Amino acid sequence: MRSLSRFRPFGSGLILAGAAWAALAASSAPKVLKLGEAAISIEWDSGWVAGESSAGAPRNSAEFHATDPHDLKVMLSAHAPPGSDGIDEAMRGMVDGFANELLPAAVEKELPVEPFKNGETHGYQVCATDKAPKPDEYKYICQGMASVGTWVVGYTVLYNDSGKAQAEKAVKALQAMQGSTGT
């Protein structure tokens, strides 16, 4: 009896560690998304669902959303730049344009364009809060451009208060996406 009681805390610790590992493994894993000819790999959250691109979306696009799409919706599109010269300036210019388009309807008085870099992936992003979203619209938006391998990937993250944690994960995943040769 005495020796068994010494192992209970250890056994409980193993059970808790196993449960934590299983939860971690279930919560995110790499997933390859096809964007036409491009493929990107992102850390995929188990609460996300790959969806069909919206009507009229270019063939080089993809979408995913939370289980309830009203919480979070992410749209992506890949573009092959004509060359490597001026890519950073072009991405910055595009995101500056997004900021200027969003500003009139935003709660924020200024919309700073934020640079990001994660390994080989780098780009720019701007986020805003809609002053008066309609019931079927999203309250928040983050738009960005990222250089990923030989592609430039544009993304839009739309979400409401109920999807804020999912949106934070999505933005981190997008800022760390990698080019992929997988399908």
Q: 129: domain CATH number?
A: 3.40.1000.10
pLDDT at residue 2 greater than cutoff 50: no
| 2 occurs within a structural domain | no
pLDDT band at 157 (very low <50, low <70, confident <90, very high): very high
pLDDT of residue 167 exceeding 90, the answer is yes
Whether 69 is in a domain gets the answer yes
Mean pLDDT highest for which of 19-28, 38-47, 99-108? Answer: 99-108
Of residues 30 and 19, more confidently modeled: 30
Residue 5 is assigned to a structural domain of this protein: no
Is residue 82 very low, low, confident or very high in pLDDT (cuts 50, 70, 90)?
Answer: confident
The total of other beta-carbon atoms located within 10 Å of residue 15's CB is 10
Asked, for residue 7, whether it belongs to a domain, the answer is: no
Tell me, yes or no, whether 4 lies in a domain.
Answer: no
74: which residues sit within 8 A by CB, 6+ positions away? 63, 64, 65, 155, 156, 157, 158, 170, 174
More confident residue, 181 or 60: 60
Domain count of the fold of the chain = 1
- The pLDDT value given to residue 122: 95
| Distance, CA of 172 to CA of 38 (rounded, Å) | 20
Look at phi and psi of residue 56 and say left if phi exceeds 0, alpha if psi is from -120 to 50, else beta.
Answer: left
Residue-number span of the structural domain to which 76 is assigned: 28-179
CA dihedral 13, 16, 18, 24 (to 10 degrees): -140
pLDDT of residue 16: 34
151 found inside a domain? yes
Place of tokens 């992929």: 180
Tell me the CA distances in angstroms from 172 to 37, 45, 51, 104, one per residue in order: 24, 11, 20, 27
Report yes or no on 3 lying in a domain. Answer: no
- 12 lies in some domain: no
